[in-house]
Amino acid sequence: MTNDLHDLELLLRSRIPLISIETRDERHVSQLFTKLSMRLGIPVMAWSATTGLQRIDLDLAPQKHASEPQQALGQIKATNTPTIYLLLDFHPYLDDPYNIRLLKEIALDYPELGHTLVFVSHELRLPAELSAYSARFELSLPGAEQIEVLIREEAGHWSQARRGQQVHTDRKTLDLVSSQLRGLTTGDARRIVRTIIHDDGAINGQDLERVTRARYQLLEHNGAISCEFDTDDFGTVGGLQNLKRWIERRRSAFLNARDDKDMPRGILLVGVQGGGKSLAARAIAGLWSLPLLRLDFGTLYNKFFGETERNLREALQAAEAMAPCVLWIDEIEKAIASGDNDNGTSRRLLGNLLTWMAERQAPVFIVATANVIEHLPPELIRKGRLDEIFFVDLPDAATRA
Protein backbone atom coordinates (compact mmCIF):
# COMPACT_ATOMS: atom_id res chain seq x y z
CA MET A 1 0.00 0.00 0.00
CA THR A 2 2.92 2.34 0.72
CA ASN A 3 4.14 2.26 -2.89
CA ASP A 4 0.60 2.86 -4.17
CA LEU A 5 0.23 5.90 -1.89
CA HIS A 6 3.53 7.32 -3.06
CA ASP A 7 2.80 6.73 -6.77
CA LEU A 8 -0.73 8.15 -6.50
CA GLU A 9 0.58 11.21 -4.73
CA LEU A 10 3.08 11.79 -7.56
CA LEU A 11 0.26 11.42 -10.06
CA LEU A 12 -1.89 13.97 -8.23
CA ARG A 13 1.02 16.41 -7.95
CA SER A 14 1.54 16.04 -11.71
CA ARG A 15 -1.76 17.89 -12.12
CA ILE A 16 -3.42 15.28 -14.34
CA PRO A 17 -7.19 15.92 -14.30
CA LEU A 18 -8.42 12.38 -15.16
CA ILE A 19 -7.15 9.10 -13.68
CA SER A 20 -8.50 5.63 -14.50
CA ILE A 21 -8.09 2.61 -12.21
CA GLU A 22 -9.26 -0.85 -13.27
CA THR A 23 -9.89 -3.00 -10.19
CA ARG A 24 -12.53 -4.98 -8.34
CA ASP A 25 -11.09 -3.85 -5.01
CA GLU A 26 -13.09 -0.63 -4.81
CA ARG A 27 -12.82 -0.39 -1.04
CA HIS A 28 -9.01 -0.48 -1.19
CA VAL A 29 -9.02 2.46 -3.62
CA SER A 30 -11.28 4.46 -1.30
CA GLN A 31 -8.92 3.78 1.61
CA LEU A 32 -5.92 4.94 -0.42
CA PHE A 33 -7.54 8.25 -1.36
CA THR A 34 -8.79 8.82 2.20
CA LYS A 35 -5.17 8.58 3.38
CA LEU A 36 -4.06 10.88 0.56
CA SER A 37 -6.71 13.38 1.63
CA MET A 38 -5.11 13.59 5.08
CA ARG A 39 -1.64 13.87 3.58
CA LEU A 40 -2.46 16.53 0.98
CA GLY A 41 -5.31 18.36 2.70
CA ILE A 42 -7.68 17.83 -0.26
CA PRO A 43 -11.29 16.69 0.27
CA VAL A 44 -12.34 13.41 -1.36
CA MET A 45 -15.84 12.63 -2.60
CA ALA A 46 -17.20 9.46 -4.19
CA TRP A 47 -20.06 9.10 -6.66
CA SER A 48 -22.11 6.03 -7.53
CA ALA A 49 -25.50 5.62 -9.18
CA THR A 50 -27.02 4.43 -5.89
CA THR A 51 -25.54 6.90 -3.40
CA GLY A 52 -24.86 10.00 -5.49
CA LEU A 53 -22.07 12.31 -4.33
CA GLN A 54 -20.79 11.54 -0.82
CA ARG A 55 -17.80 12.89 1.06
CA ILE A 56 -15.67 9.94 2.25
CA ASP A 57 -12.69 11.56 3.97
CA LEU A 58 -14.89 12.72 6.87
CA ASP A 59 -17.29 10.68 8.99
CA LEU A 60 -20.47 12.47 7.95
CA ALA A 61 -24.06 11.30 7.96
CA PRO A 62 -24.94 9.94 4.49
CA GLN A 63 -26.79 12.42 2.30
CA LYS A 64 -27.85 11.61 -1.23
CA HIS A 65 -26.86 14.35 -3.68
CA ALA A 66 -26.69 14.34 -7.47
CA SER A 67 -27.38 10.67 -8.18
CA GLU A 68 -27.82 11.32 -11.91
CA PRO A 69 -24.49 11.40 -13.86
CA GLN A 70 -25.16 14.70 -15.65
CA GLN A 71 -26.34 16.29 -12.42
CA ALA A 72 -23.21 15.11 -10.59
CA LEU A 73 -20.83 16.35 -13.31
CA GLY A 74 -22.67 19.67 -13.40
CA GLN A 75 -22.25 20.05 -9.65
CA ILE A 76 -18.55 19.17 -9.90
CA LYS A 77 -18.07 21.75 -12.65
CA ALA A 78 -19.80 24.42 -10.53
CA THR A 79 -17.65 23.74 -7.42
CA ASN A 80 -14.63 26.01 -6.93
CA THR A 81 -12.88 24.11 -4.12
CA PRO A 82 -10.21 21.70 -5.50
CA THR A 83 -11.49 18.18 -4.78
CA ILE A 84 -10.74 14.56 -5.68
CA TYR A 85 -13.83 12.79 -7.05
CA LEU A 86 -14.00 9.01 -7.25
CA LEU A 87 -16.47 8.05 -9.99
CA LEU A 88 -17.43 4.45 -9.20
CA ASP A 89 -18.66 2.28 -12.08
CA PHE A 90 -19.08 5.29 -14.34
CA HIS A 91 -18.19 3.31 -17.49
CA PRO A 92 -21.82 2.78 -18.70
CA TYR A 93 -22.25 6.56 -18.91
CA LEU A 94 -19.18 7.18 -21.05
CA ASP A 95 -21.20 6.51 -24.22
CA ASP A 96 -23.23 9.70 -23.72
CA PRO A 97 -21.80 12.65 -25.75
CA TYR A 98 -23.15 15.11 -23.18
CA ASN A 99 -21.25 13.39 -20.35
CA ILE A 100 -18.10 13.22 -22.44
CA ARG A 101 -18.31 16.96 -23.12
CA LEU A 102 -18.86 17.76 -19.44
CA LEU A 103 -15.85 15.62 -18.46
CA LYS A 104 -13.71 17.31 -21.10
CA GLU A 105 -14.70 20.78 -19.86
CA ILE A 106 -13.83 19.81 -16.27
CA ALA A 107 -10.45 18.56 -17.50
CA LEU A 108 -9.84 21.74 -19.52
CA ASP A 109 -10.79 23.87 -16.48
CA TYR A 110 -8.27 22.10 -14.25
CA PRO A 111 -6.00 25.19 -13.93
CA GLU A 112 -8.95 27.15 -12.48
CA LEU A 113 -10.92 24.40 -10.64
CA GLY A 114 -8.17 21.95 -9.61
CA HIS A 115 -10.51 18.94 -9.65
CA THR A 116 -9.17 15.42 -10.16
CA LEU A 117 -11.65 12.82 -11.41
CA VAL A 118 -10.75 9.19 -10.69
CA PHE A 119 -12.68 6.53 -12.65
CA VAL A 120 -12.83 3.25 -10.70
CA SER A 121 -14.31 0.18 -12.38
CA HIS A 122 -13.62 -3.48 -13.07
CA GLU A 123 -13.25 -2.65 -16.76
CA LEU A 124 -12.67 0.78 -18.18
CA ARG A 125 -11.80 2.39 -21.49
CA LEU A 126 -11.98 6.17 -21.74
CA PRO A 127 -13.24 7.73 -24.99
CA ALA A 128 -10.63 9.14 -27.35
CA GLU A 129 -11.79 12.69 -26.54
CA LEU A 130 -10.61 12.24 -22.95
CA SER A 131 -7.47 10.15 -23.38
CA ALA A 132 -5.21 13.19 -23.83
CA TYR A 133 -6.14 14.45 -20.35
CA SER A 134 -5.92 11.14 -18.53
CA ALA A 135 -3.46 8.71 -16.98
CA ARG A 136 -3.91 5.06 -16.15
CA PHE A 137 -2.92 3.77 -12.71
CA GLU A 138 -2.48 0.11 -11.80
CA LEU A 139 -2.68 -0.96 -8.17
CA SER A 140 0.17 -3.12 -6.94
CA LEU A 141 -0.71 -6.64 -5.87
CA PRO A 142 0.21 -8.00 -2.43
CA GLY A 143 3.51 -9.86 -2.17
CA ALA A 144 4.29 -13.05 -0.25
CA GLU A 145 4.83 -11.27 3.07
CA GLN A 146 1.61 -9.26 2.78
CA ILE A 147 -0.36 -12.39 1.90
CA GLU A 148 0.98 -14.23 4.93
CA VAL A 149 0.04 -11.29 7.15
CA LEU A 150 -3.43 -11.38 5.62
CA ILE A 151 -3.76 -15.14 6.32
CA ARG A 152 -2.69 -14.65 9.94
CA GLU A 153 -5.18 -11.80 10.34
CA GLU A 154 -8.06 -13.97 9.11
CA ALA A 155 -6.89 -16.87 11.28
CA GLY A 156 -6.85 -14.49 14.24
CA HIS A 157 -10.41 -13.33 13.54
CA TRP A 158 -11.59 -16.95 13.31
CA SER A 159 -9.79 -17.87 16.54
CA GLN A 160 -11.18 -14.86 18.40
CA ALA A 161 -14.73 -15.74 17.37
CA ARG A 162 -14.24 -19.28 18.77
CA ARG A 163 -12.70 -18.42 22.14
CA GLY A 164 -9.09 -19.06 21.27
CA GLN A 165 -9.44 -22.19 19.12
CA GLN A 166 -6.45 -22.30 16.75
CA VAL A 167 -6.42 -22.71 12.97
CA HIS A 168 -4.48 -25.88 12.06
CA THR A 169 -1.88 -25.70 9.31
CA ASP A 170 1.81 -26.35 8.63
CA ARG A 171 4.65 -24.32 7.13
CA LYS A 172 4.73 -26.14 3.79
CA THR A 173 0.98 -25.80 3.18
CA LEU A 174 1.03 -22.17 4.27
CA ASP A 175 3.79 -21.41 1.75
CA LEU A 176 1.91 -23.21 -1.04
CA VAL A 177 -1.34 -21.36 -0.32
CA SER A 178 0.53 -18.04 -0.17
CA SER A 179 2.12 -18.83 -3.53
CA GLN A 180 -1.28 -19.67 -5.07
CA LEU A 181 -2.76 -16.38 -3.84
CA ARG A 182 -0.12 -14.28 -5.58
CA GLY A 183 -1.50 -12.22 -8.42
CA LEU A 184 -4.82 -11.54 -6.67
CA THR A 185 -5.96 -8.27 -5.17
CA THR A 186 -6.00 -7.92 -1.39
CA GLY A 187 -9.78 -8.16 -1.29
CA ASP A 188 -9.97 -11.29 -3.47
CA ALA A 189 -7.19 -13.02 -1.52
CA ARG A 190 -8.85 -12.19 1.79
CA ARG A 191 -12.21 -13.61 0.67
CA ILE A 192 -10.62 -16.89 -0.46
CA VAL A 193 -8.66 -17.27 2.79
CA ARG A 194 -11.75 -16.54 4.86
CA THR A 195 -13.68 -19.22 2.95
CA ILE A 196 -11.13 -22.02 3.44
CA ILE A 197 -10.58 -21.20 7.12
CA HIS A 198 -14.25 -20.98 8.04
CA ASP A 199 -14.97 -24.29 6.30
CA ASP A 200 -13.09 -26.52 8.75
CA GLY A 201 -10.79 -24.32 10.83
CA ALA A 202 -7.71 -25.52 8.97
CA ILE A 203 -5.49 -24.75 6.00
CA ASN A 204 -4.40 -28.07 4.53
CA GLY A 205 -3.50 -29.74 1.26
CA GLN A 206 -7.16 -30.17 0.30
CA ASP A 207 -7.54 -26.37 0.21
CA LEU A 208 -5.00 -25.97 -2.61
CA GLU A 209 -7.49 -27.13 -5.25
CA ARG A 210 -10.16 -24.83 -3.80
CA VAL A 211 -7.78 -21.88 -4.03
CA THR A 212 -6.96 -22.79 -7.64
CA ARG A 213 -10.65 -23.08 -8.56
CA ALA A 214 -11.42 -19.72 -6.94
CA ARG A 215 -8.53 -18.00 -8.75
CA TYR A 216 -9.57 -19.49 -12.08
CA GLN A 217 -13.18 -18.33 -11.62
CA LEU A 218 -11.97 -14.78 -10.94
CA LEU A 219 -10.18 -14.62 -14.28
CA GLU A 220 -11.83 -13.07 -17.31
CA HIS A 221 -10.63 -15.61 -19.87
CA ASN A 222 -11.75 -17.02 -23.18
CA GLY A 223 -12.45 -20.68 -23.78
CA ALA A 224 -8.93 -21.42 -25.02
CA ILE A 225 -7.58 -21.75 -21.45
CA SER A 226 -8.99 -24.39 -19.14
CA CYS A 227 -7.88 -25.41 -15.68
CA GLU A 228 -7.21 -29.13 -15.20
CA PHE A 229 -7.94 -29.99 -11.57
CA ASP A 230 -7.30 -33.73 -11.92
CA THR A 231 -3.49 -33.73 -11.67
CA ASP A 232 -1.37 -36.80 -11.01
CA ASP A 233 1.86 -37.62 -9.24
CA PHE A 234 4.99 -39.20 -10.63
CA GLY A 235 4.24 -42.17 -8.42
CA THR A 236 1.58 -43.12 -10.99
CA VAL A 237 4.00 -42.70 -13.94
CA GLY A 238 6.14 -45.66 -14.90
CA GLY A 239 9.55 -45.18 -16.48
CA LEU A 240 10.67 -41.71 -17.70
CA GLN A 241 13.50 -41.70 -15.14
CA ASN A 242 15.46 -38.94 -16.91
CA LEU A 243 12.41 -36.69 -16.97
CA LYS A 244 11.65 -37.38 -13.30
CA ARG A 245 15.20 -36.49 -12.24
CA TRP A 246 15.21 -33.35 -14.39
CA ILE A 247 11.89 -32.11 -12.97
CA GLU A 248 12.82 -32.91 -9.36
CA ARG A 249 16.14 -31.03 -9.61
CA ARG A 250 14.46 -27.92 -11.02
CA ARG A 251 11.56 -27.82 -8.61
CA SER A 252 13.21 -25.43 -6.16
CA ALA A 253 14.65 -23.25 -8.94
CA PHE A 254 11.15 -22.64 -10.32
CA LEU A 255 9.15 -22.38 -7.09
CA ASN A 256 11.77 -20.15 -5.43
CA ALA A 257 12.78 -18.15 -8.48
CA ARG A 258 15.24 -15.30 -7.88
CA ASP A 259 15.79 -12.20 -9.98
CA ASP A 260 19.50 -12.97 -10.39
CA LYS A 261 18.87 -16.54 -11.62
CA ASP A 262 17.24 -17.87 -14.78
CA MET A 263 14.19 -19.95 -13.85
CA PRO A 264 13.24 -23.09 -15.81
CA ARG A 265 11.10 -22.15 -18.81
CA GLY A 266 9.64 -25.38 -20.14
CA ILE A 267 10.10 -28.71 -21.88
CA LEU A 268 8.91 -30.53 -24.99
CA LEU A 269 7.69 -34.12 -24.76
CA VAL A 270 7.87 -35.98 -28.07
CA GLY A 271 6.82 -39.55 -28.71
CA VAL A 272 4.30 -42.03 -29.94
CA GLN A 273 0.61 -41.65 -29.21
CA GLY A 274 -0.45 -43.25 -25.94
CA GLY A 275 3.08 -43.20 -24.53
CA GLY A 276 2.17 -41.11 -21.48
CA LYS A 277 2.99 -37.53 -22.51
CA SER A 278 -0.27 -36.13 -21.18
CA LEU A 279 0.07 -38.10 -17.95
CA ALA A 280 3.58 -36.69 -17.51
CA ALA A 281 2.30 -33.13 -17.96
CA ARG A 282 -0.28 -33.72 -15.23
CA ALA A 283 2.36 -35.29 -12.98
CA ILE A 284 4.66 -32.26 -13.24
CA ALA A 285 1.88 -29.97 -11.99
CA GLY A 286 1.03 -32.47 -9.24
CA LEU A 287 4.65 -32.82 -8.11
CA TRP A 288 5.12 -29.06 -7.93
CA SER A 289 1.63 -28.51 -6.39
CA LEU A 290 0.83 -25.94 -9.09
CA PRO A 291 -2.30 -25.23 -11.16
CA LEU A 292 -2.33 -27.02 -14.51
CA LEU A 293 -3.69 -24.93 -17.38
CA ARG A 294 -4.40 -26.44 -20.77
CA LEU A 295 -4.19 -24.30 -23.90
CA ASP A 296 -6.59 -25.49 -26.62
CA PHE A 297 -5.44 -23.99 -29.92
CA GLY A 298 -8.55 -25.24 -31.66
CA THR A 299 -10.74 -22.67 -29.92
CA LEU A 300 -8.41 -19.79 -30.82
CA TYR A 301 -9.13 -19.71 -34.52
CA ASN A 302 -11.55 -17.07 -35.75
CA LYS A 303 -12.56 -16.22 -39.30
CA PHE A 304 -12.01 -12.48 -38.78
CA PHE A 305 -8.54 -11.09 -39.47
CA GLY A 306 -6.48 -10.56 -36.31
CA GLU A 307 -9.00 -12.15 -33.93
CA THR A 308 -7.08 -15.44 -33.68
CA GLU A 309 -3.90 -13.66 -32.58
CA ARG A 310 -5.88 -11.56 -30.09
CA ASN A 311 -7.44 -14.72 -28.64
CA LEU A 312 -3.95 -16.18 -28.15
CA ARG A 313 -2.70 -13.02 -26.40
CA GLU A 314 -5.68 -13.07 -24.05
CA ALA A 315 -5.14 -16.76 -23.28
CA LEU A 316 -1.46 -16.17 -22.47
CA GLN A 317 -2.39 -13.20 -20.28
CA ALA A 318 -4.78 -15.47 -18.38
CA ALA A 319 -1.94 -17.97 -17.87
CA GLU A 320 0.29 -15.20 -16.48
CA ALA A 321 -2.51 -14.15 -14.15
CA MET A 322 -2.61 -17.73 -12.76
CA ALA A 323 1.18 -17.87 -12.27
CA PRO A 324 2.95 -19.71 -10.82
CA CYS A 325 1.47 -22.48 -12.93
CA VAL A 326 2.16 -25.18 -15.51
CA LEU A 327 0.88 -24.45 -19.03
CA TRP A 328 0.18 -27.62 -21.01
CA ILE A 329 0.11 -27.22 -24.81
CA ASP A 330 -1.08 -30.55 -26.21
CA GLU A 331 -0.15 -31.67 -29.76
CA ILE A 332 1.49 -28.35 -30.50
CA GLU A 333 2.59 -29.38 -34.00
CA LYS A 334 -1.05 -29.51 -35.16
CA ALA A 335 -1.77 -26.08 -33.73
CA ILE A 336 0.98 -24.21 -35.56
CA ALA A 337 1.21 -26.27 -38.74
CA SER A 338 1.56 -23.83 -41.62
CA GLY A 339 -0.56 -24.10 -44.71
CA ASP A 340 -1.28 -22.22 -47.91
CA ASN A 341 -4.98 -21.65 -47.25
CA ASP A 342 -5.01 -19.88 -43.87
CA ASN A 343 -3.79 -16.45 -45.07
CA GLY A 344 -0.71 -16.67 -42.86
CA THR A 345 -2.69 -17.06 -39.62
CA SER A 346 -0.60 -20.00 -38.38
CA ARG A 347 2.65 -18.10 -38.99
CA ARG A 348 1.37 -15.04 -37.11
CA LEU A 349 0.15 -17.31 -34.33
CA LEU A 350 3.59 -18.90 -34.10
CA GLY A 351 5.24 -15.47 -34.05
CA ASN A 352 3.07 -14.31 -31.15
CA LEU A 353 3.74 -17.52 -29.22
CA LEU A 354 7.51 -17.34 -29.77
CA THR A 355 7.68 -13.71 -28.67
CA TRP A 356 5.79 -14.50 -25.47
CA MET A 357 7.93 -17.57 -24.75
CA ALA A 358 11.12 -15.52 -25.07
CA GLU A 359 10.03 -12.39 -23.20
CA ARG A 360 7.68 -13.55 -20.44
CA GLN A 361 8.71 -12.79 -16.87
CA ALA A 362 5.85 -14.54 -15.07
CA PRO A 363 6.59 -18.01 -13.62
CA VAL A 364 4.71 -20.05 -16.22
CA PHE A 365 6.33 -23.45 -16.93
CA ILE A 366 5.46 -24.78 -20.39
CA VAL A 367 4.93 -28.47 -21.06
CA ALA A 368 4.41 -28.89 -24.80
CA THR A 369 3.65 -32.30 -26.30
CA ALA A 370 4.04 -33.43 -29.88
CA ASN A 371 3.79 -36.68 -31.81
CA VAL A 372 6.01 -35.77 -34.78
CA ILE A 373 8.95 -33.46 -34.09
CA GLU A 374 9.68 -33.07 -37.81
CA HIS A 375 6.52 -30.97 -38.13
CA LEU A 376 7.76 -28.41 -35.60
CA PRO A 377 9.55 -25.27 -36.81
CA PRO A 378 13.21 -25.06 -35.68
CA GLU A 379 12.69 -21.66 -34.06
CA LEU A 380 10.28 -23.24 -31.56
CA ILE A 381 12.56 -25.99 -30.28
CA ARG A 382 15.82 -24.08 -30.04
CA LYS A 383 17.39 -23.34 -26.65
CA GLY A 384 15.94 -20.26 -25.01
CA ARG A 385 12.34 -21.07 -25.89
CA LEU A 386 12.31 -24.43 -24.11
CA ASP A 387 14.95 -25.93 -21.83
CA GLU A 388 14.93 -29.57 -22.89
CA ILE A 389 13.35 -32.14 -25.22
CA PHE A 390 12.40 -35.58 -23.91
CA PHE A 391 11.43 -38.60 -26.00
CA VAL A 392 8.57 -40.63 -24.56
CA ASP A 393 8.66 -44.15 -25.97
CA LEU A 394 6.41 -47.12 -25.36
CA PRO A 395 7.22 -48.64 -21.95
CA ASP A 396 9.79 -51.42 -21.84
CA ALA A 397 9.28 -54.73 -20.03
CA ALA A 398 10.61 -53.49 -16.68
CA THR A 399 8.33 -50.44 -16.74
CA ARG A 400 5.30 -52.52 -17.65
CA ALA A 401 6.08 -54.89 -14.79
The domain ranges of the chain are 2-137, 144-218, 227-400
Percent of the chain whose pLDDT exceeds 70: 90
pLDDT for position 60: 65
pLDDT of 299 strictly over 60? yes
Would you state the CATH architecture of domain 227-400?
A: 3-Layer(aba) Sandwich (3.40)
Residue 365 CA to residue 302 CA, distance in Å, equals 27
Helix boundaries (H) for 182-229: 186-200, 206-218
The H or E element spanning position 389 is strand 388-392
Check residues 297 and 61 and name the one with the higher pLDDT.
297
**pTM surpassing 0.75?**
no
2-137 matches 227-400 in fold: yes
Q: Which of the pair, 226 or 327, is modelled with greater confidence?
A: 327
Give the model's pLDDT for residue 74: 93
Question: 102 near 75, Cβ under 8 Å?
Answer: no
The pLDDT tens digits of the residues spanning 149-189 come to: 888 899 888 888 888 888 888 888 888 888 778 777 788 88
pLDDT tens sequence across 87-140: 999 999 999 999 999 999 999 999 999 999 999 998 888 999 999 999 999 888
What pLDDT, on a 0 to 100 scale, did the predictor assign at position 223?
A: 65
pLDDT score, position 127: 92
Confidence of residue 77 (pLDDT cuts 50, 70, 90): very high
Distance, in Å, from the CA atom of 366 to the CA atom of 385, rounded to the nearest integer, reads: 10
CB count within 10 Å of CB 144 equals 12
> Which pLDDT belongs to residue 301?
65
54-68, 80-94, 294-308 — which one is most confidently predicted on average? 80-94
Residue 16, pLDDT > 90, answer: yes
In 10 A of CB 334, how many CB atoms?
Answer: 13
The fourth-level CATH superfamily of domain 2-137 is P-loop containing nucleotide triphosphate hydrolases (3.40.50.300)
- pLDDT tens per residue across span 320-346: 878 888 999 888 887 676 555 556 667
Predicted confidence at residue 180, as pLDDT, reads 79
Element (H, E) at 334: helix 332-335
Cα distances (angstroms) measured from residue 166 to each of 148, 149, 173, 196, 294: 16, 16, 16, 14, 38
pLDDT at res. 399: 74
Q: Average of pLDDT values for 214-223?
A: 69
